């Protein structure tokens, strides 16, 4: 950009400018108190015009200091104050070599990080227009000079949205401007200086990596273009896609959603998509994008809350590179190019109508007028945080287009999208999640009940075994049986043994016998299942043999006789 503000005069001049532009000024702004409401505005514009149009005024020469101005602005809370208003940023592109050769001059000045001044370079011989205030002043959320880096633009416009997407909110960034104003450069960039799309994807995966302990993140990506009012899948091109309205808004039916796991994977898909995108040279741009491109990244993740409920979050980031608007005469080529241009202009006109209707608070917003507005419906009037980057050229050769872009950008900043609160809160638990949790609980309960039943069965079995053992030892009563008394041997007892009492319970002999019986009984109990099994088999086998024999007795007899006779 040409130097327009001299650094030697900078402190006083900027002070003066700051005083003058401390409140937003546009031709539509309301101004001042006092008798004449336009007086203050006129004074302000005059002061600004005089300041800007000093021939030897130049912006600070050190680009880094200029960048610092922008960087300082980023930390200001102004963009946060906008709430759900569409955030509008302006980016100026440098004058190209071709434009310089054509004798182009700079007509755009970034006054401070929020204000841009467009000089109306009237013909000095046009005496009718000489007395009028030349130029126009606009205020936006941020203005980037031609020296601003891609990273600066990304940090201001998109990094906050990426953060929001990871929290389950929707975000849209779209570049708007005339052909050759730098939209594709801002969105896609080059290999050396990648644009917003690339930086956003890298940032997203970096953030996911640091958060991976919070839950499982699933990233899906799709990339489409709207060319001549038809929607095409850029990654797997095929038949034109049809727009369908469902719960998630307007979606292209059949658009491939790629599950992606790494930045490299996304880069490959992005390159593939850009390769398939329709570009043609125009008078204003050698590689003009003839279509609107929409890259959508959906991040889904599930976490469990304190009560172990599964919470599903879905955030969507849409990055849109619009095709450039152009005057019909600006393109040399006719036929297909004219048709493309007409369609581009038509969809951008539809976008302007939607912006107008939204700003004026109309009930009916004409989204259906074009595919582009149908796709952007959520971003403009839905639950979404939206950022518009207005790309402009600093060349006076494009001053008409620049003025147009700034006008629409100025209108767009008045659009208010719906509160993004619903997505800020965690989304309701999914049906499948609830079902799974219920199933786990039911299975645990069933498991507990089955264990208890098993324990009871084991106890019963033991008791049964004990009683069986008692039966089998009916001649030798159980040691535990208090009713049992050892058999009395009258003669022996009377002759040698002590009293019956002592003989029954206390003699070592009887004690020894009891122990023996106890051990035997225990062994019997232990071997009871085996014994049962064996006896069962024995009985069964005998019965089986007997049955077999009786069934086939006559047959065997016949065989035997037959064999014997022959």
Ligand X SMILES: Nc1ncnc2c1ncn2[C@@H]1O[C@H](COP(=O)(O)OP(=O)(O)OP(=O)(O)O)[C@@H](O)[C@H]1O
Applying CB under 6 A, the residues found at the interface with ligand X are 93-94, 146, 177, 179-185, 282, 285, 287-289, 323-324, 391
Q: Is 180 left (phi over 0), alpha (psi -120 to 50) or beta?
A: left
**Per the annotation, does 179 bind a ligand?**
yes
Return the closest-CA partner of residue 488 out of 510, 469, 473, 467: 510
Do 172 and 320 form a contact (C-beta atoms < 8 A)?
yes
What is the nearest approach in angstroms of ligand X to the Cβ of residue 171?
21
Specify the residue, 146 or 203, whose C-beta has the smaller distance to ligand X. Answer: 146
Pick between residue 119 and residue 179 the one whose CB is nearest to ligand X: 179
**Quick one: angle between helices 196-211 and 150-157, nearest 10?**
60
Strand pairing class (170-177; 142-144): unpaired
Minimum distance between the CB of residue 133 and ligand X, rounded to whole angstroms? 29
178 is in an annotated binding site: yes
Min dist. Cβ of residue 410 to ligand X (A): 19
Using an 8 Å Cβ cutoff, are 200 and 158 in contact?
yes
Helix pair 150-157, 63-74: axis angle to 10 deg:
10
Give me the least distance between CB of 154 and ligand X, in Å please: 13
Nearest distance from C-beta of residue 64 to ligand X, angstroms: 16
Strands 288-289 and 279-280: antiparallel
Closer residue to ligand X in complex, CB, 282/399: 282
Beta strands in 228-327 (DSSP E): 230-233, 242-246, 249-253, 258-260, 279-280, 288-289, 292-304, 310-321
Annotated binding residue 182: yes
Question: At closest approach, how far in Å is the CB of 324 from ligand X?
Answer: 2
Return all residues near 564 (Cβ < 8 A) that are at least 6 apart.
none
Nearer to ligand X, 115 or 152 (CB): 152
**How far is CA 146 from each of CA 63, 94, 108, 154, 389, rounded to the nearest angstrom?**
10, 5, 10, 15, 14
417 known ligand binder: no
Centre a 10 Å sphere on the Cβ of residue 50 and count the other Cβ atoms it contains. 10
CB 418 within 8 A of CB 383: yes
472-508: burial string, b at 16+ Cβ within 10 Å, e else: ebeeebbbeeeeeeeeeeeeeeeeebeeeeebeeeee
Helix ranges restricted to H, 399-487: 399-412, 421-424, 431-472
Please tell me the number of Cα atoms within 13 Å of 326 on its side-chain side: 29
Residue 503 assigned ligand-binding role:
no
Q: How far is the CB of 145 from ligand X (least distance, A)?
A: 9
The CB-of-62 to ligand X minimum distance in angstroms stands at 18
**CB of 73 or CB of 183, closer to ligand X:** 183
Would you say 222 or 391 has its CB closer to ligand X? 391
Q: Closer CB to ligand X, residue 20 or residue 179?
A: 179
**What is the spatial distance between Cα 284 and Cα 278, in angstroms, rounded to a whole number?**
16
CB of 182 to ligand X, least distance (A): 3
CB-nearer residue toward ligand X: 191 or 308: 191
CA geometry: angle 211, 212, 214, nearest 5 deg: 70
Contacts of residue 314, defined as CB under 8 A and 6 or more positions apart, other chains included, come to 168, 298, 299, 300, 423, 427
Query: Annotation-wise, does 177 bind a ligand?
Result: yes
Q: How far is the CB of 347 from ligand X (least distance, A)?
A: 13
Q: Which is nearer to ligand X, 41 or 89 (CB)?
A: 89
Please report how close the Cβ of residue 144 comes to ligand X at its closest, in angstroms.
8
Q: Which residue is nearest to ligand X (CB)?
A: 324
Cβ distance to ligand X smaller for residue 156 or 250: 156
Spatial CB neighbours of 59, under 8 Å, sequence gap ≥ 6: 1, 3, 4, 5, 7, 66, 109, 110, 145
338 bridge partner residues = none
**Quick check: helix, strand or coil at residue 178?**
strand
- CB-nearer residue toward ligand X: 153 or 266: 153
Annotated binding-site residue numbers: 177-184
> Annotated binding site for ATP, which residues?
177-184
């Amino acid at each position: 950009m040409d130097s327009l503000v001299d650094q030697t005069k900078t402190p006083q001049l900027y002070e003066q400018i700051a005083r003058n532009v401390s409140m937003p000024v546009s031709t539509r702004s309301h101004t001042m108190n006092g008798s004449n409401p336009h007086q203050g505005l006129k004074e302000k514009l005059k002061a600004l015009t005089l300041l800007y149009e000093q021939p030897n005024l130049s912006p600070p020469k050190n680009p880094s200091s200029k960048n610092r101005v922008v960087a300082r602005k980023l930390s200001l809370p102004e963009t946060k104050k906008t709430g759900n208003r569409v955030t509008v940023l302006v980016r100026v592109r440098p004058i190209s070599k071709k434009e310089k050769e054509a004798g182009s001059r700079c007509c755009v000045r970034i006054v401070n990080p929020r204000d841009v001044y467009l000089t109306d370079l009237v013909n000095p011989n046009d005496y009718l227009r000489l007395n009028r205030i030349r130029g126009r002043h606009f205020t936006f959320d941020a203005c980037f000079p031609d020296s601003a880096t891609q990273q600066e633009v990304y940090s201001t416009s998109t990094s906050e949205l990426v953060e929001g997407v990871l929290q389950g909110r929707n975000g849209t960034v779209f570049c708007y401007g005339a052909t050759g104003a730098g939209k594709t450069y801002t969105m896609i960039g080059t290999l050396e200086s990648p644009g917003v799309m690339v930086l956003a994807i890298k940032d997203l995966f970096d953030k996911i990596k640091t958060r991976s302990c919070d839950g499982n993140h699933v990233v899906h990506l799709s990339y489409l273009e709207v060319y001549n009012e038809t929607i095409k899948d850029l990654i797997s091109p095929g038949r034109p896609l049809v727009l369908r309205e469902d719960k998630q808004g307007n979606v292209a039916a059949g658009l491939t959603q790629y599950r992606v796991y790494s930045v490299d994977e996304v880069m490959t898909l992005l390159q593939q998509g850009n390769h398939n995108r329709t570009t043609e040279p125009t008078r204003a741009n050698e590689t003009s994008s003839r279509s609107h491109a929409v890259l959508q990244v959906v991040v889904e993740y599930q976490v469990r809350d304190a009560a172990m409920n599964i919470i599903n979050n879905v955030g969507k980031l849409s990055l849109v590179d619009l095709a450039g608007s152009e005057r019909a005469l600006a393109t040399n080529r006719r036929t297909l190019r004219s048709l493309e241009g007409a369609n581009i202009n038509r969809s951008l006109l539809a976008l302007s109508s939607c912006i107008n209707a939204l700003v004026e608070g109309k009930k009916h917003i004409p989204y259906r007028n074009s595919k582009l507005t149908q796709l952007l419906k959520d971003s403009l009037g839905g639950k979404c945080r939206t950022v518009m980057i207005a790309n402009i050229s600093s060349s006076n050769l494009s001053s008409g287009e620049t003025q147009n872009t700034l006008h629409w950008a100025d209108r767009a900043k008045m659009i208010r999208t719906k509160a993004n609160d619903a997505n800020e809160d965690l989304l309701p638990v999914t049906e499948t999640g609830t079902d799974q949790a219920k199933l786990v609980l039911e299975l645990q309960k069933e498991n507990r009940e089955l264990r208890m039943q098993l324990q009871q069965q084991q106890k019963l079995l033991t008791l049964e075994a004990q009683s069986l053992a008692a039966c089998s030892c009916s001649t030798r009563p159980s040691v535990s049986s208090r009713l049992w008394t050892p058999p009395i041997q009258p003669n022996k007892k009377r002759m040698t043994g002590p009293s019956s009492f002592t003989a029954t319970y206390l003699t070592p002999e009887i004690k020894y016998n009891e122990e023996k019986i106890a051990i035997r009984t225990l062994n019997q109990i232990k071997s009871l299942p085996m014994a049962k099994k064996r006896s069962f088999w024995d009985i069964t086998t005998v019965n089986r043999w007997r049955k077999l024999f009786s069934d086939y007795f006559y047959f065997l007899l016949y065989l035997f006789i037959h064999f014997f006779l022959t």
